[in-house]
Chains A and B, each alone.
Chain A
Amino acid sequence: MSRTQSAYWQGFRAGAPFILVVIPFALLFGVVATEAGLKVIETMGMTVLVIAGTAQFAAIALMRDEAPTYIVLATAMAVNLRMAMYSASITPYLGQATLLQRIFVGYLLVDQSYAMSITKFETNPDLTMRQKLGFFFGTMTLIAPLWYVFTLVGALVGQAIPPQFALDFAVPITFIAITAPMMRTPAHLAAAFVSVTVSLLLAFLPYNLWLMIAAVLAMMTGAQVELWMERRAL
């Protein structure tokens, strides 16, 4: 097997565990969107074109309350703004890809593909561009189609999932499992600590502002701790 193929399959395996979360999340979105009044074709249009679960749930919640169009859009964009940070963070690794490749990366840049890829690229700095792209697209090979298909199943079947399964918690648990192994240095720990503390303190702010402020402060904390450790040569 060529090196590119094996990078693709490594990405494929890295993305595979997320099917456990994507399937219930997609089912839930299909159910919620059609219950709120979207037609099946509209639900699918949103899922395929937007491909951002959290922003989609936020938009549907506001549309159910008859919010003005611009409020729906502003909120969805605010929820997605963290992806600009992902885009900046992954650009040093994928910025040299062709325009068409970068367009596809942009479309498929979600929490899971970003987290798996950035970990891979940081720990394997000598990967070629083809290998990096192979890994990235490998992580989404199962996630994207399952997101579409199970949204459709949820929209067609429309059965609410019983609350005792506590599926709302599958998403936080997955994010914990993604980030916990990343806490390699005191700088990483400090960044995570500031992120959690500030977002809880500012949780009353609207439009995901709390998350943006927490994220920027956490990045500054990580960078400062890193500099401080370098100066002290710890």
Chain B
Amino acid sequence: MNYSSLEIWTIIGLMALGSFLIRFSFLGLVGNREMPKWFLRHLRYTPLAVMPGLIAPLVLWPAGTEGQTDPARLIAAAVAVTIGITSKNLIAAVTGGMVALYGAQYFLG
């Protein structure tokens, strides 16, 4: 990498400022004012609107296989979803998913 020290710290500084302003945005500007009802109705679905979309490409085209779809990872994701929905237990879902991943990698070669 050929950036000068100043350029690197500029990138870090602006990334930090931008990330903070994005996170602080509504907390800071809206604060304790009421938001419209229709807007709140949409916000109720924020976690399920963002997170599944964020990871779906990582499941189908994993970074660890340079984008090649991997049956072991698909099995692991399915196991984690199933355990997560049925048990509603985070640790059980993560552990089950990783055990399924290592197991499937072992048996599928």
Chain A interface residues toward B at CB < 8 A: 17, 20-21, 36-38, 42, 45-46, 49-52, 55-56, 59, 63-64, 66, 69, 72-73, 76-77, 80-92, 94-96, 99, 102-103, 105-107, 109, 111, 114-115, 118-119, 122, 163-164, 166-183, 187-188, 191-192, 194-196, 198-200, 203, 210-211, 214-216, 218-223, 226-227
Contact = CB atoms under 8 A, between A and B. Distances in A.
Contacts, number: 291
Given A42-B9, A118-B46, A221-B45, 17 more contacts: A66-B2, A72-B11, A76-B19, A82-B54, A83-B19, A84-B25, A87-B27, A91-B26, A102-B27, A114-B47, A170-B98, A171-B58, A177-B83, A195-B49, A199-B52, A199-B54, A199-B56
Contacts of A59: 11, 15
A46 B54 contact: no
A28 B32 CA distance: 39
B77 A173 contact: yes
B44 to A, nearest CB: 7
A97 B22 CA distance: 18
Contacts of A102: 24, 27-28, 31
B23 A87 contact: yes
A105 B91 CA distance: 25
Contacts of B24: 87, 102-103, 106
Interface residues of B, number: 76
A187 B43 CA distance: 13
Interface string B1-42: 111010111111111101110111111101111010011111
B71 interface: no
Contact of A180 (B1, B15, B80): B80
A137 B83 CA distance: 28
Given A94-B27, A96-B32, A178-B90, A195 B19 contact: no
A191 B98 contact: no
Contact of B49 (A115, A171, A214): A214
B15 A50 contact: yes
Interface string B56-73: 111111111000000011
A180 B87 CA distance: 10
